[in-house]
Structure 1
Amino acid sequence: MDDPRNLRMQRWEDRTELPLLAASLLFLAGYAVIVLVHDTDPLVQNIALAVIALSWLCFGLDYAVRKQLSGLGLLRFTRTHWLDTIVLVLPLLRPLRLVKLYTAVQRRRDQPRLSLYARAITYAGLSALLLGFAGALAVYQQERGAPGASIRTFGDALWWACETLTTVGYGDVVPVTWQGRTIAVFLMACGLALLGAVTGSFSSWLIQVFTREDEEAPGK
């Protein structure tokens, strides 16, 4: 029999998944306004800050409720839910929670296998897009005024994020500040993980297709 605490946790996560996704997108939009239009009307800046604060409050409330539902102490909950803790402290990494959906989809045996692989690739691709945009914003904020910086426009930052996530690394634009390089390390690690998820799912799907074709071939 399932643990009642696990059932309550699952019900809570099912109910809050979409609202928290909306909150994370609002957070990203508010942060984009702060970074890209920092010299605009102060009223717009204040609204963006309010959106960011409200979204962060939603993340904190969700974290507190799930900690309470788990029945675990704070330290143990933090250790066992390390990804949630990271994205609470650094909300720009919120898209990483989509990677957890990738694992959840793999456990759903009642869905057709092709649909499963397609969903996994979709979740990983969406995570890459959101992380790339968030990483570009963050590194642009840190680099645009730094002495000797090669990332001087948001276009440069987007190009750098694409290079980093795909692990290509041409080296034509690179962060020069320690904050920018720290962001680069996170983005490289996320890029490797997401590429692994996509290529692993695609390879598994190909193996399934080839196996099915062999089984259906004449004479077998």
Structure 2
Amino acid sequence: MGTQPATMTSQEKAMTRSSRWERATDTPLLALGIAFLIAYATPIIAPEISPGWHLFLEWIEIGTWAAFATDFVVRVSLAEDRRAFVRTHVLDLLAVALPLFRPLRALRVVSVVILSTRRLSKVLKNRVMTYVGITAVSVWFIAGLAVTDAERNAPGANIVTVWDGWWWSFITMATVGFGDHFPVTIDGRLVAVGLVVTGIALIGTITAYIASWFATASREAEEAIKVELGVNEDKLDALTVEIGELKALVERLAGRPLPVPPPTD
């Protein structure tokens, strides 16, 4: 009783262990992902904080990276096909492999936040839209911070506050590009390239999802109308039979046939 079947394959056992590990680490890694984002954002939003706070936040980033690295190594070790697992978990690999230095540090933050979002979306309804929506907001927020961090002290820069960075991030991600703010450093332009590509992909995904939702709603409405028409036709047939029976009854009672009204179109 309570033991695993002897016929369970090694792949099924590995999947069971992997599933148990993911369920156990979902909430802690989600919390660490949020902590990682806060540790990255705070020095950029409030650059005047003390060196002690800077060091504390850096240790949070390092600790979070170590936790995600451990999680990735454990899941690779539990996978039946380890090469296939690595190929299908590129974001996990990026979150572990990328260094903490600029400008790749922002990409690591994006990777960690997306991984945390993916774990959160497992427990929510409408997973796809939740995942895409949170990812879009996160990319906008992090790109604004990254470009501000890169541009703030550069000669001739016009993105000098986080509000400038978030405004630039929004109009760039929406592919509008008013031109009132633009990066002048190499790091800032690399952020811009990544943001444009990501923005196009996310907008395309959201547009496709909305179109799919409308198509599904239209099909459901058509099916409902067809069902309703079928019900009404059945009712009309039953009513026609009842009218015929009533006419026959009236004719018998009156002892003579009733005039038949001319057909109408």
Q: What TM-score, normalized by structure 2, do the two folds share?
A: 0.69
> Per the alignment, do residues 128 and 98 of structure 1 end up closer, same or farther by CA in structure 2, a change over 3 Å counting?
farther
Q: What TM-score, normalized by structure 1, do the two folds share?
A: 0.82
Are 1:219 and 2:229 matched, yes or no? yes
Contact residue 31 and residue 48 of structure 1 kept, 8 A: yes
Contact residue 143 and residue 191 of structure 2 kept, 8 A: yes
Q: In the TM superposition, what whole-angstrom CA distance separates every residue of 1:23-63 from its partner, at most 9, and x where no partner exists?
A: 11101101112222233222222221221121111111111
Q: In the TM superposition, what whole-angstrom CA distance separates every residue of 1:183-208 from its partner, at most 9, and x where no partner exists?
A: 12222222222222222222111111
Equivalences for 1:46-195 in 2 at 5 Å?
Answer: 46-72=55-81, 77-88=85-96, 89=98, 90-93=107-110, 94-97=112-115, 116=126, 119-195=127-203
Give 3-state SS (helix, strand or coil) of 1:219's partner. Answer: helix
Are 1:210 and 2:218 matched, yes or no? yes
Figure out how many residues of one structure are paired with residues of the other and give that number: 209
Contact residue 98 and residue 123 of structure 1 kept, 8 A: no
Q: What percentage of aligned pairs have identical amino acids?
A: 33
CA distance in 2, matches of 1:50, 1:86: 19
Are 1:9 and 2:18 matched, yes or no? yes
Contact residue 101 and residue 123 of structure 1 kept, 8 A: no
Contact residue 32 and residue 137 of structure 1 kept, 8 A: yes
Q: Which moved more, 1:12-21 or 1:128-137?
A: 12-21
Q: CA deviation at 1:156?
A: 0.5
> For the aligned residues, what is the CA RMSD?
2.7
Which structure 1 residue ranges, 5 or more long, are not aligned?
A: 106-110
CA distance in 1, matches of 2:117, 2:21: 19
> Per the alignment, do residues 98 and 43 of structure 1 end up closer, same or farther by CA in structure 2, a change over 3 Å counting?
closer
Give 3-state SS (helix, strand or coil) of 2:65's partner. Answer: helix
CA distance in 2, matches of 1:10, 1:170: 47
CA distance in 2, matches of 1:101, 1:26: 15
Residue number in structure 1 paired with 2:241: none
CA distance in 1, matches of 2:60, 2:213: 41
Larger relative contact order, structure 1 or 2 (CA cutoff 8 Å, min sep 6): 1
Which structure 2 residue ranges, 5 or more long, are not aligned?
A: 1-8, 99-106, 231-265
Are 1:27 and 2:27 matched, yes or no? no
1:204 maps to a residue whose letter is S
> Per the alignment, do residues 190 and 17 of structure 1 end up closer, same or farther by CA in structure 2, a change over 3 Å counting?
farther
1:97 maps to a residue whose letter is L
2:202 maps to a residue whose letter is L
Q: Report the structure number with the largest CA radius of gyration.
A: 2
Contact residue 95 and residue 130 of structure 1 kept, 8 A: yes
CA distance in 1, matches of 2:164, 2:142: 14
Contact residue 144 and residue 168 of structure 2 kept, 8 A: yes
1:43 maps to a residue whose letter is G
Equivalences for 1:33-44 in 2 at 5 Å?
Answer: 33-44=42-53
Q: In the TM superposition, what whole-angstrom CA distance separates every residue of 1:108-132 from its partner, at most 9, and x where no partner exists?
A: xxx9xxx53xx42222111111121
> Per the alignment, do residues 212 and 64 of structure 1 end up closer, same or farther by CA in structure 2, a change over 3 Å counting?
same
Q: In the TM superposition, what whole-angstrom CA distance separates every residue of 1:56-90 from its partner, at most 9, and x where no partner exists?
A: 111111111112112556x7654342221123224
